[in-house]
Structure 1
Amino acid sequence: MSFPLVYHPCYSALELPERHRYPIGKYHALQQQLQAFGVPTEQFHQPAPLSEHELTLVHCPDYIQALCSGQLDAKAMRRIGFPWSKQLIQRSLTSIAGTRLCAELALQHGLALHLSGGYHHAFYNQGSGFCLFNDLAFAAKSMQQQGVKRLLIFDLDVHQGDGTALLLANEPDIITCSVHCDKNFPYHKQQSDWDLALPATISEQDYLLQVEQALSCLLNWYQPDLVLYDAGVDCHQQDELGHLQLSTAALLQRDRLVLQSCRKREIPVAAVIGGGYQRDLAALTQLHLQLFKAAFELEGSSIASKIET
């Protein structure tokens, strides 16, 4: 069997107000498209939701309790960007567990992909930017507890991973890197171990060169035992919340670069799909599929040829 995929039907099972900005249907659409391309059902692994107590590894117990019980105040919920519901909590607890499972499977197989994840704006005691809990920080610290010595979080979402940076600021063996657009949300940036704040006018060639140089330095200097890769596609030229101008072909080149660089050094990679905010769900799904195309190419699978660029 090829590399594992992590998915749960609850990822898209969230009722949101009409015209809500978050494209909640993209997770189901992505899974359906992969199955249509011939990915077998047994390649998908389904996570069980976390307990609230497990989240205390990275989050404030009072915040967890207030959010999960529906008692978080209205202002704090507006900062998150979702109306509260039991569905919202269930999918969040499941998705955070999914990134941890993805990391565990990557250690076993060398590569694993999560059809969700990348909730990098969640802080210790508050959520933000559609992020309730921080799956990247949680997965990284969970892997440390399981004996992984050094991890790299390589975040290529168009928005800085501010929550991840602050949550892991005092963790010397978890290296955080964020390559993002300089003039974009969040307006108050945190300090990652390695930040690359790029201008909106950057060319595709320069963007890819910056990513390649940063990744090469980080892998060579820190020699991580596991890479958590946030493959956000909101840096695409058609994204409605991003300001960079990457083409679909450039996204594929970027994902190839990351996966191939790690494979060459025999470093396991757990990838999450991250952000992407087009209202055209079919177009958005096509962008997220580039990560999977790069992965199938790496494995020499014929499924790669079925995914258009």
Structure 2
Amino acid sequence: MVRTKSPGLIYHPIYSKLDLPFKHRYPIGKYQALYQALVELGVPADQFTSSQISSVEQLLSVHEPFYTEQLISGQLDSKAMRRIGFPWSEQLVTRSLTSVGGTVQTVKLALQQGLALHLSGGYHHAFAGEGSGFCLFNDLAVAARYALTQGADKVLIFDCDVHQGDGTAAIFANEPAIITASLHGEKNFPARKQQSSWDLGLPTACTDDEYLAAVTQSLEYLLRIHQPDLVIYDAGIDIHQQDDLGLLHISTAGVAERDWCVLNECHKRSIPVAAVIGGGYQRDLSALTQIHLQLFYAAFKISGLPLPNTNRWFHALRT
């Protein structure tokens, strides 16, 4: 399958519009920084699809009604909000619902044209009835369930964030049509792991060669065994050696190789991919953005439309 058009890109400026306490750990500005970097690299602003807010019906396809209502209305108790890690606000809820809707749109575009990327997403610590780890609603789960309503018989959620996708695993523990795979730091958050369809806990200080072998072998096996109609790819970059919350020692070149391998392997098999950027917690937004950009370099190259002035650098990172 030869792509002749740019990958779908989904974004909304609300992603970085959240007032947080001073020195809050979450790098809320990274979404706007990533969007701006792509525009500066030559991606036209009109190529981005604006995210639409998720419907309550979509949320309830994976989340419990009581939790959903309490969180949206601001009635969730303070202990539950501390577990999430954000102070409640209408702004927080609107932002979260828009991000969930954006991942649903990413799946829709991927099914239509083969490849789509969301400049947000990856909130995999949200369970059916509780949030956790900066995650209110599980966009990966909502989008996977949506894919089943759009003709997909089997969906693979391939989660390469450094933290296990525990909420996603729990939500789909008894759903054979949705395969959950998590390649994560074994000693990292969450302390209590859930059972995914495929779990691979990586050792602290894991380096490029070991990591890339794990990704390649896991993906090839899962694609061969399950033959999914769609892959939802969480391209978290908190695996990076400079990430504040990571514990792995993966270089920027390693991230670039991982993203290329995942997208290219699916491309060779003509499997649509909906990708989200996932976690990344460096305080230096410029450095963080450069690592997130590896996913987009790979996607444009797969599509046969390399980003201007970056093709040479991308190749250099992979050699």
- Residue 305 (structure 1) shift: 4.1
CA contact (8 A) 2:103 2:139 kept: yes
Distance of 2:235 and 2:189 partners within structure 1: 17
| Structure 2 residues without counterparts, runs of 5 or longer | none
Which amino acid is 1:164 matched to? T
C-alpha distance in 2, partners of 1:234/1:4? 24
CA contact (8 A) 2:229 2:271 kept: yes
- Structure 1 stretch displaced more, 197-206 or 183-192: 197-206
Query: Which one of 81, 93, 100 corresponds to residue 97 of structure 2?
Result: 93
Cα shift at 1:43: 1.4
Runs of 4+ in structure 1 deviating by more than 2 angstroms, as ranges, are: 51-54, 304-309
Distance 2:236 2:120 in 1: 10
Written as runs of structure 1 = structure 2, the 5 A alignment for 1:234-245 is 234-245=238-249
Structure-2 residue corresponding to 1:215: 219
Q: Indicate conservation of the 8 Å contact 1:294/1:304, yes or no.
A: no
How far residue 89 of structure 1 moved from its aligned partner, in angstroms, is: 0.3
Contact 2:58/2:142, CA 8 A, preserved across alignment: no
The residue that corresponds to 1:107 in the other structure is 111
Q: What's the CA shift for 1:52?
A: 2.6
Aligned length: 309
Match of 1:151 among 148, 155, 179: 155
Mapping of 1:83-232 within 5 angstroms?
83-232=87-236
The residue matched to 1:122 in structure 2 has which SS? coil
Deviations 1:119-173 (A, max 9, x none): 0000011000000000011100111112210010000000000000000111101
State the Cα deviation string for residues 83-136 of structure 1 (Å, max 9, x = none).
111110001000000001000100111100000000000001100000000001
- Pick closer, same or farther for the CA change 1:302–1:194 going to 2, 3 Å: closer
The equivalent of 1:74 in structure 2 is: 78
Q: Deviations over 1:196-240 (max 9, x none)?
A: 001013221011001100000000111000000000000000000
Whole-Å separation in 2 of the counterparts to 1:175 and 1:256: 21
Contact 2:58 2:146 in 1 (8 A): no
Partner secondary structure for residue 296 of structure 1: helix
- Determine the C-alpha separation between the residues in 2 that align with 1:62 and 1:5: 33
Structure 1 distance, partners of 2:226, 2:58, is 28
Aligned pairs for 1:4-15 within 5 A: 4-15=8-19
CA distance in 2, matches of 1:302, 1:196: 32
Distance in 1 separating the partners of 2:97 and 2:209: 38
Q: RMSD in angstroms over aligned alpha carbons?
A: 1.1
Q: 2:225 is paired with a residue of what secondary structure? A: helix
What TM-score, normalized by structure 1, do the two folds share?
0.98
CA contact 1:157–1:234 (8 Å) conserved in 2: yes
| In 1: Cα distance, 2:98 partner to 2:106 partner | 12
- Partner residue of 1:251? 255
Are 1:24 and 2:28 counterparts? yes
Structure 1 residue matching 2:196: 3-state secondary structure: coil
Structure 1 counterpart of 2:237: 233
1-structure distance, mates of 2:115, 2:176: 24
Q: What is the aligned partner in structure 2 of residue 260 from structure 1? A: 264
2:60 partner SS? helix
Q: Is the partner of 1:207 in helix, strand or coil?
A: helix
CA distance in 2, matches of 1:203, 1:273: 21
Deviations 1:33-52 (A, max 9, x none): 10011101221001211233
Alpha-carbon separation, structure 1, partners of 2:184 and 2:137: 20
Letter in 1 for 2:16: S
Secondary structure of the structure 1 residue equivalent to 2:164? coil
2:217 aligned partner, one-letter code: Q
Note if 1:303 corresponds to 2:307: yes
TM-superposed CA distance for 1:304, in Å, is 6.0
Distance, in Å, in 2 between the alignment partners of 1:80 and 1:65 is: 16
Q: What are structure 1's unaligned runs of at least 5 residues?
A: none
Partner SS state of residue 57, structure 1: coil
CA distance in 2 between counterparts of 1:33 and 1:207 reads 27
Amino acid of the structure 2 residue aligned with 1:34 = L
**Alignment map for 1:270-309 (pairs within 5 Å):** 270-303=274-307, 305-306=309-310, 308=313
